[in-house]
Amino acid sequence: MNKAIIITGPSGAGKNTIADYLIGKFSFLNYSISATTRQPREGEVDKVDYYFITVPDFKTKIEKDEFIEWEMVYTDMFYGTLKSEINRIWAAGKAIVFVVDVIGAKDLKQYFGDSALSVFIKPPSLTELRQRIMKRRTEHIDALEERMRRAKVEIKMADVFDKILVNDDLDTVFGEADDLIADFFNKKIK
């Protein structure tokens, strides 16, 4: 199939919620597991949610050209897409789902071209975005503020992606995501 879905947008917009829904529903989709130097959150599992690695290990992988793209998304927190993930997923005959920040998403879209659909997940408002990050209880207050500052810049980039989904009501956005998948993969899914 050799196709990919790139899901991007600010932290807390609902990217993982939507990606989890799609991957749960469509067995032909598979997550690309990113590498990161941030600490695992409670409940996160190494090699499932991320490859949690140290900064020196991350830098070695950069030197060995093991990433398609990588970013220091937040202060001293590196995230990157490993080339080996693409081989792993395509070799299994699946399509890839990437959940990445906006810069990574632009890089991936450029790399995959028409083989990829890039989707920007937009929160209904910045106030709601803050509420969601606070409700998720995963970030300290300074990390929250850094995510909010970055979100304002990221939302301005929404138009460069193939599609924008406003994540207000969950059932509505799930239905819209279904339609995007149906279109992109030429499948009947309802």
Interface residue list for ligand 5GP (CB under 6 A): 11, 15, 34, 38, 69, 71, 73, 79-81, 99-101, 103-104
- At position 124, the amino acid (one-letter code) is P
Q: Where does this chain touch ligand ADP (CB under 6 A) — which range of 4-12, 24-32, 40-48, 150-158?
A: 4-12
Distances (CA, A) of 116 to 17, 42, 111, 123, 128: 20, 32, 9, 23, 29
Check residue 22 for interaction with ligand ADP (CB under 6 A): no
In this structure, the number of other CB atoms found within 10 A of the CB of residue 147 comes to: 20
> Which of 126, 153, 170, 189 contacts ligand ADP by CB under 6 A?
170
* Residue 38 vs 182, nearer CB to ligand 5GP: 38
Name the pairing type of β-strands 116-122 and 51-52.
unpaired
70 within 8 A of 51, measured Cβ to Cβ: no
Residue 15 CB, nearest distance to ligand 5GP (Å)?
A: 6
Backbone angles phi, psi at 128, to 5 degrees: -65, -40
Judged by beta carbon distances under 5 to 8 A according to partner kind, the member of ligand 5GP, ligand ADP, none in contact with residue 120 is: none
Q: Is 113 exposed, middle or buried (0-12, 13-18, 19+ CB in 10 A)?
A: exposed
Check residue 64 for interaction with ligand ADP (CB under 6 A): no
* Residue 118 vs 167, nearer CB to ligand ADP: 167
Name the pairing type of β-strands 77-82 and 35-36.
antiparallel
Q: Indicate the residue whose CB is closest to ligand 5GP.
A: 104
* Residue 11 vs 61, nearer CB to ligand ADP: 11
Residue 188 CB, nearest distance to ligand 5GP (Å)?
A: 30
